Amino acid sequence: EAGVVQSPRYKIIEKKQPVAFWCNPISGHNTLYWYLQNLGQGPELLIRYENEEAVDDSQLPKDRFSAERLKGVDSTLKIQPAELGDSAVYLCASSLGLSSGGITDTQYFGPGTRLTVL
Amino acid sequence: QKEVEQNSGPLSVPEGAIASLNCTYSDRVSQSFFWYRQYSGKSPELIMSIYSNGDKEDGRFTAQLNKASQYVSLLIRDSQPSDSATYLCAVIDNYGQNFVFGPGTRLSVLP
């Protein structure tokens, strides 16, 4: 079974430029998460999707960040314009979701995209 | 705001010893608890999950949960150099299904 796929793996851009990250979750997983992870810290949730609906985007800086999951499968996270402080690893994770019927909803992480803003 | 706290380490143990990793959380309604391992430059991978008070064993790993004390721990027996990584504690509540991760504890197993 294929895992969570993310691209690109690495991205270097200059500040004020736009950037986009793509995620393909594990087949059949209804819930998709985008996290930001700074060096030496745990992942911080940016947005969570249940199918195509964003059910928690309270931590997403909406002035510059946007995300979409149009068909309830793949997702894209965009930053426009990027700032120096956005340099981090952006992780995508997926899980079966609430439809799995319980609280034992394990998340599986993709390899992440390491963003460097110069 | 839910909080999950871990000692950032590094925690150094000799090969073959028991490594003990601790995690405390602030939200009393938390129901599910997870330990993830993250190697440098890699993404987190699930080691164990625990939902009920007590111990849960899986190979060399034992998770311990005490909801009254809001404390969860991970014991690694017969530690190996390959266990050297950052261990992330994650907590989920049964309302929002959102994980809150701790900052992680860096473990170094010395040969």
Interface test with A, best of B99, B100, B106 (most A CBs within 10 A): B99
Q: Write the pLDDT tens digit of every residue in B1-30.
A: 568 999 888 999 999 999 999 999 987 777
Interface test with B, best of A58, A105, A114, A116 (most B CBs within 10 A): A105
Mean pLDDT of chain A: 90
> Which residues have C-beta within 8 Å of that of residue A109, sequence separation ≥ 6?
A4, A91, A92, A93, B43, B44, B45
Find, among A27, A39, A29, A23, the residue nearest to A111 by Cα: A23
User: What residues in A contact B43, CB-CB < 8 Å?
Assistant: 91, 109-112
Predicted pLDDT of residue A26: 94
DSSP A28: T
Q: Write the pLDDT tens digit of every residue in B46-86.
A: 999 998 899 999 999 999 999 999 999 999 999 999 999 99
Question: How far away is chain B from the Cα of A86, in angstroms, using its nearest Cα?
Answer: 18
Q: Write the pLDDT tens digit of every residue in A56-87.
A: 888 899 999 999 998 889 999 999 999 999 99
Distances (CA, A) of A14 to A6, A82, B13: 21, 8, 42
Determine whether the interchain pair B102/A42 forms a contact, defined as Cβ–Cβ distance below 8 Å: yes
B30-38 and B85-93 beta bridge pairing = antiparallel
Model confidence at B94, in pLDDT bands (50, 70, 90)?
A: low
